[in-house]
Amino acid sequence: MMANLPSTAAHPFVSIIIPAYNAEIFIEKTLNSILMQTYCYFEVLIVDDGSQDRTSEIVDRIAETDSRVILIKQKNSGVAAARNLAIQAAKGELIAPIDADDIWYPNYLEKQVCCLQSCSDAVGLVYAWSIDIDEQEQLTGGLHAAQIQGNVYQTLLCHNFLGNASATVIRKTCFETVGGYCGDMRAQNAQGCEDWDLYLRVAEKYEFRVVPEFLVGYRKIQQSMSCNYDCMARSHSFMLQSNREKYPEIPAFLYHLSSSSFYLYFAHQSHVWGDDRTTQFWLSQAIKVDKITPFLRLSFYQLFLKSFVGQMLASRLSTSKKSPISTQTKEVNSPLIEDLRLKIFIKVLVGNLLHTVLSRIGKPINLQRSPTPMPECMSECMPECMPERRSEYRSKFSKSPAADTHPNCPPPNHV
């Protein structure tokens, strides 16, 4: 860990990357949540992926008032290409992805960066908890909470406990080692798991840490990519096949567990949207790939019964899950999630049990912890985080102007 080195808008410590395609509805809310962060040593790189709406116009207007906001345009090439382009342009030593419709609560960056700075170089990624919100930033009752840390590869293979693409801060050096987001999925019409695929490659070589607080608002809308279940199922299969080829010693039932868990997630989301037929389809797919573990889950039987009982019971149950409280961009505190305490406890408990079992089951796999050459496509961005640039920080900047106007922003400990 290096000494305290201040950062300016020209030399940010964190690079926030946002892929945006026809994101005019929510992009301003996303950017506002970022610009309200208590931590201020960052830049925001928005890649307009060939939008045909007012996305660029909105971002340009915000960029005129805040020099940290930078717009990059490309022809439509997919979410992975957009994120990789932002990483190549990034000046920060940490990369913080967020989707163009999600929000961060005010102390997200402060707590994530503090956590990562307190860790050794063996830790490459930190994540926070997230809570599902709707179009009006109201809680829907869904959440993503886990306390899984350390060497997490096998657990992550079975279940994406990080929850989404907006809840992580990653060392930029990780991208030197493992490469960027996988662009091959789009060519196979299999977009959707690019973030999960990256997390697995990072987990091969680095440890994970968690900030166990709800710091992310993960927006759930039917039109989003995360609701294109067929495409995401293909993406998941593509990801599993890649990992199976690298680690054939991993028991096959772990891949089956991963698929059945993912399909049960699709079934749950379909039920939330009131689509009983699709719920039943994904329940059947879960049984098809895994003949055992779906029957061990209470949620399987609940979804099965609800999807057949009819709209009256389903409507009454779903209504009771909705929270009338709008979170907007305020911190999610205990009163807002009081009704979810039991759900949080169960999620964390089950996650810890799964992690403990998977960490001890079978023979340990030979993870590729030694450094590997970086892919040629990522080489352009690497000089920005080399030691000579850190020396430039020392010589040029003794005090950050940003710290004068943002008293909550301590100078970053460069990692």
pLDDT tens track, the chain, 415 positions: 333 334 445 679 999 999 999 999 999 999 999 999 999 999 999 999 999 999 999 999 999 999 999 999 999 999 999 999 999 999 999 999 999 999 999 999 999 999 999 999 999 999 999 999 999 998 888 899 999 999 999 999 999 999 999 999 999 999 999 999 999 999 999 999 999 999 999 999 999 999 999 999 999 886 654 568 999 999 999 999 999 999 999 999 999 999 999 999 999 999 888 888 999 999 999 999 999 999 999 899 999 998 887 545 545 544 444 444 444 555 665 555 667 788 889 899 999 998 998 887 755 566 666 443 333 333 333 333 333 333 332 333 233 334 444 445 555 555 5
Cβ atoms within 10 Å of 272's Cβ, excluding its own:
18
CB atoms inside a 10 Å sphere around CB 71: 19
Minimal CA–CA distance to 285: which of 275, 294, 276?
A: 294
CA angle 203-146-273, nearest 5°? 105
Contact 83, 97 (CB under 8 A): yes
Q: How far apart are CA 375 and CA 389, in angstroms?
A: 21
- If phi > 0 it is left, if psi is from -120 to 50 it is alpha, else beta; for residue 184 that is alpha
The pLDDT score that the predictor gives to residue 392 is 36
Q: What is the pLDDT of residue 383?
A: 30
Task: Specify whether the CB–CB gap between 163 and 228 falls below 8 A.
Answer: no
**Parallel, antiparallel or unpaired: strands 168-171 and 103-104:** unpaired
- Which domains are assigned to the chain? 14-250+323-389 (3.90.550.10), 251-322 (no CATH)
Compute the distance between CA of residue 357 and CA of residue 343 in angstroms, rounded to an integer.
21
Residue 272: the pLDDT is 85
Q: Are 157 and 254 in contact (CB under 8 A)?
A: yes
Dump the DSSP string for 168-180: EEEEHHHHHHH-S
Looking up tokens 């350390």, which residue turns up? 150
Exposure string for 140-170, b = 16+ CB within 10 A, e = fewer: bebbbbbebbebbbbbbbbbbbbbbbbbbbb
Q: State how far the Cα of 266 lies from the Cα of 31, in Å rounded to an integer.
A: 29
Residue spans of alpha helices (H) in 247-292: 252-272, 276-289
Residue 77 is predicted with a pLDDT of 96
Torsion sign over Cα 124, 246, 244, 87: positive
Place of tokens 């080829």: 245
Place of tokens 């490659």: 201
